[in-house]
C-alpha cells in the first residue's frame, strides 16, 4: 500500500508540473539564430539570439562564460559575440555579411561582383565555452610541494648568490630595451598581451556547431523591424549544436566521415550501337561535402585543395582530370559536363582491368601535398564503390548517382 501511495503521488506531481513557454522538452544544447536578407543593402544581417541547455562543467573545470562565432561559408568574414556568464545566455547581437565582393583584374582594375544566396552557401554558428583557471577539486599535495622549495630557498641561498641573481634580473630588461632599439621589437607589453590571448584561446572548448543553408525557400517571413520593405527573414530559429566533426545537416543519412565525400555519377554508353566493344564508362563529379573539422584544419595550414580523378588500366594511369584549386570549404558544386573522366573499352571484356581512383588532396603554401582521402571504383572493389560499378554495367545508358566517402 505504501508503494502504491508513493507511486500515485509521483504521477500526480509530475502531471501538475508545467514547463515555461520559453523552454523546450529537448535538453540538448541549442543556439538561436535569425537571418535577414536585405536586397537593397546587398547584405545578410545575422542576429545571434541566445543559447540554452549549455553545460556548466567540463570534466573537473567549471565554465566561466560562453561565446558564439558566426561565419559565412564560403567566405572569410567571421564575427564573435561578447562573452556571457550564464547557462541560458541572451545576446541579441547583429552581424552584417556583405554580399558584394571586389575582384582584381589586370592593370590594377577592380570589379564589384554581387553574390547571390543559394543552397550551396551556409551560415555556421559555433559555440565555445571558456573555462575557469581553477578546477573544482583543488589538490593540496601539489600546493605543498610547490611551496616547500620557496621556504627552503632563503636558507640555502647566500648573500653573494642573491646579489648575482639581482644583477642578472636587472640585466634582462636592459637587454630587451637594446633589442627593441636596434631591431624595432615591441616592448614586454606586446608579449604579455599575446600570452594572455593565447591563454584565453587555450581555455576554450567547443560545445558544438550548427549550419544553416541559405536556401531562398527558408526566407519566407518579414523581420520584426524591417529597414526596407523588400527585406526577408528566416524568423527565429533554434538549432541543436552538433559535434564539430559532423556539422553538416544530413551527415548521418549519407554516412559522412570527417574527411568528406563526393557525389558521383557513373554511366556506360556506346559510341556506336552496331559495334560490340564500343562501350565507355564516364565518371562525373557533381558535388563535394566536407566536415567543419577538416575545413578548419586545412584553413589553419593556409593551403588550397583540389580533387583528382584517374583512370587506371593494368596499374597504369591512362587518363585523369584535376579540378582547379579552391579554398577549404564545407560544400562545393562542379559542372559534371566538364568535371569528368572517360574509360574507353576498345575490345570486349577490357573493363575487367580498369578502375577509377578519386583523390582529395591538400597543398599548403610551401607546395607540400597531403592526401586527405581517396577511394577506388572498379570490378574488384567492395562496398558502395563496387555497387555503383555493377549497377552502371547492368543498366547501360543510365547515370548511377552515389555519394562516396573518402577513406
- Cell numbers placing 319: 587518363
Quick check: is 149 in a domain? Answer: no
Do residue 357 and residue 395 come from a single domain?
yes
Confidence grade of residue 261 (pLDDT, cut at 50, 70, 90): confident
Confidence grade of residue 397 (pLDDT, cut at 50, 70, 90): confident
Confidence grade of residue 132 (pLDDT, cut at 50, 70, 90): confident
- pLDDT above 90: percentage of residues in the chain: 21
**What does DSSP say about strands 261-270 and 400-405: parallel, antiparallel, or unpaired?**
antiparallel
Name the residue range of residue 41's domain. 30-134+202-242
Quick check: is 154 in a domain? Answer: no
Query: Which of 102-106, 187-191, 220-224 has the least mean pLDDT?
Result: 187-191
Quick check: is 174 in a domain? Answer: no
The residue among 80, 75, 113, 69 whose CA lies nearest residue 97 is: 75
- DSSP category for residue 248: S
List strand residue ranges (DSSP E) for 116-197, in order.
122-135
- Cell numbers placing 305: 585543395
List for the chain the helix, strand, coil content (%; round to 5): 25, 40, 35
CATH number of 85's domain: 2.60.40.150
pLDDT of residue 160: 45
Do residue 122 and residue 268 come from a single domain?
no
What is the three-class DSSP state of 380? coil
Do residue 217 and residue 266 come from a single domain?
no
pLDDT of residue 152: 45
Do residue 121 and residue 207 come from a single domain?
yes
Do residue 224 and residue 311 come from a single domain?
no
Dump pLDDT digits (tens) for 18-75. Answer: 333 344 445 789 999 999 999 888 899 999 999 998 888 876 678 889 999 999 888 8
- Cell numbers placing 22: 520559453
The C-alpha cell 591538400 sits at: 362
Q: CB neighbours (10 Å) of residue 30?
A: 20
CA distance 270 to 224: 59
Query: What average pLDDT is seen over the chain?
Result: 75
Mean pLDDT across 263-272? 82
Q: What are phi and psi of 142, to 5 degrees?
A: -65, -35
pLDDT of residue 236: 93
The residue among 333, 244, 335 whose CA lies nearest residue 294 is: 244
Helix (H) or strand (E) run with residue 164 in it: helix 159-183
Quick check: is 13 in a domain? Answer: no
The residue among 278, 193, 286, 259 whose CA lies nearest residue 407 is: 259
Quick check: is 6 in a domain? Answer: no
Which H, E and C letters describe 2-51, residue by residue?
HHHHHHHHHHHHHHHCCCCCCCCCCCCCEEEEEEEEECCCCEEEEEEEEE
Confidence grade of residue 381 (pLDDT, cut at 50, 70, 90): confident
Confidence grade of residue 143 (pLDDT, cut at 50, 70, 90): very low
**CA dist list (Å): 166 to 148, 156, 161, 163, 169:** 22, 16, 9, 5, 5
Do residue 209 and residue 345 come from a single domain?
no
CA distance 165 to 10: 71
* Total structural domains within the chain: 2
Contact (Cβ atoms closer than 8 angstroms) between residue 256 and residue 45: no
Quick check: is 170 in a domain? Answer: no
pLDDT of residue 86: 86
Which has the higher per-residue pLDDT, 86 or 134? 86
Do residue 113 and residue 214 come from a single domain?
yes
pLDDT of residue 141: 44
Quick check: is 89 in a domain? Answer: yes
pLDDT of residue 106: 64
pLDDT of residue 200: 62
Do residue 212 and residue 317 come from a single domain?
no
pLDDT of residue 254: 43
Quick check: is 390 in a domain? Answer: yes
Domain boundary among 214, 242, 270: 242
- Whether the link from the prior residue into 74 is cis, omega within 30° of 0, is yes
pLDDT of residue 81: 94
Do residue 266 and residue 384 come from a single domain?
yes
The b-or-e profile of 307-325 (16+ CB within 10 A means b, else e) is: bbbbbbeeeeeeeebebee
pLDDT of residue 244: 58
Do residue 269 and residue 236 come from a single domain?
no
Mean pLDDT across 370-388? 88
**What does DSSP say about strands 78-80 and 90-98: parallel, antiparallel, or unpaired?**
unpaired
Do residue 328 and residue 237 come from a single domain?
no
What is the three-class DSSP state of 335? coil
Residues 6+ apart with CB under 8 A from 115: 99, 100, 101
Mean pLDDT across 317-335? 84
Mean pLDDT across 375-395? 88
CA distance 172 to 13: 70
CA distance 323 to 101: 23
CA distance 343 to 155: 83
Do residue 394 and residue 325 come from a single domain?
yes
Handedness of CA 403, 374, 213, 118 (dihedral sign): negative
CA distance 126 to 228: 29
- Chain center to CA of 66: 19
Q: Is a pLDDT exceeding 80 seen at residue 138?
A: no
Q: CB neighbours (10 Å) of residue 394?
A: 10
Amino acid at each position: 500500500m505504501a508503494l502504491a501511495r508513493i507511486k500515485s503521488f509521483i504521477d500526480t506531481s509530475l502531471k501538475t508540473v508545467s514547463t515555461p513557454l520559453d523552454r523546450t522538452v529537448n535538453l540538448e544544447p541549442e543556439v538561436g539564430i535569425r537571418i535577414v536578407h536585405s536586397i537593397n543593402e546587398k547584405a545578410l544581417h545575422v542576429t545571434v539570439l541566445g543559447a540554452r541547455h549549455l553545460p556548466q562543467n567540463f570534466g573537473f573545470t567549471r565554465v566561466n562564460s560562453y561565446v558564439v562565432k558566426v561565419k559565412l561559408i564560403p567566405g572569410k568574414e567571421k564575427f564573435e559575440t561578447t562573452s556571457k556568464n550564464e547557462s541560458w545566455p541572451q545576446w541579441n547581437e547583429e552581424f552584417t555579411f556583405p554580399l558584394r565582393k571586389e575582384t582584381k583584374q589586370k592593370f590594377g582594375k577592380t570589379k564589384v561582383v554581387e553574390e547571390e544566396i543559394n543552397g550551396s552557401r551556409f551560415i555556421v554558428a559555433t559555440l565555445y565555452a571558456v573555462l575557469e583557471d581553477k578546477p573544482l577539486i583543488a589538490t593540496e599535495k601539489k600546493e605543498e610541494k610547490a611551496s616547500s622549495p620557496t621556504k627552503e630557498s632563503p636558507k640555502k641561498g647566500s648573500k653573494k648568490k642573491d646579489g648575482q641573481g639581482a644583477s642578472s634580473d636587472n640585466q634582462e630588461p636592459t637587454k630587451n630595451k637594446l633589442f627593441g632599439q636596434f631591431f624595432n621589437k615591441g616592448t614586454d607589453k606586446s608579449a604579455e598581451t599575446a600570452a594572455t590571448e593565447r591563454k584565453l584561446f587555450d581555455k576554450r572548448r567547443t560545445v558544438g556547431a550548427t549550419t544553416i543553408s541559405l536556401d531562398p525557400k527558408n526566407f519566407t517571413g518579414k523581420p520584426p523591424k524591417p529597414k526596407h520593405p523588400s527585406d526577408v527573414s528566416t524568423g527565429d530559429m533554434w538549432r541543436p549544436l552538433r559535434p564539430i566533426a559532423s556539422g553538416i545537416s544530413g551527415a548521418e543519412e549519407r554516412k559522412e566521415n570527417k574527411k568528406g565525400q563526393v557525389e558521383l555519377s557513373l554511366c556506360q554508353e556506346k559510341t556506336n550501337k552496331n559495334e560490340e566493344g564500343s562501350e565507355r564508362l564516364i565518371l562525373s563529379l557533381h558535388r563535394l561535402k566536407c566536415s567543419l573539422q577538416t575545413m578548419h584544419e586545412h584553413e589553419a595550414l593556409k593551403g588550397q585543395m583540389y580533387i583528382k580523378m584517374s583512370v587506371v588500366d593494368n596499374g597504369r594511369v591512362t587518363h585523369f582530370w584535376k579540378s582547379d584549386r579552391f579554398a577549404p570549404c564545407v560544400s562545393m558544386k562542379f559542372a559534371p559536363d566538364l568535371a569528368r573522366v572517360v574509360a574507353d573499352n576498345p575490345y570486349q571484356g577490357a573493363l575487367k582491368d580498369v578502375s577509377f581512383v578519386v583523390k582529395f588532396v591538400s597543398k599548403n603554401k610551401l607546395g607540400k601535398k597531403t592526401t586527405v582521402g581517396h577511394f577506388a571504383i572498379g570490378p574488384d572493389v567492395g562496398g558502395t564503390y563496387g555497387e555503383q560499378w555493377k549497377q552502371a554495367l547492368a543498366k547501360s545508358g543510365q547515370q548511377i548517382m552515389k555519394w562516396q566517402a573518402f577513406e
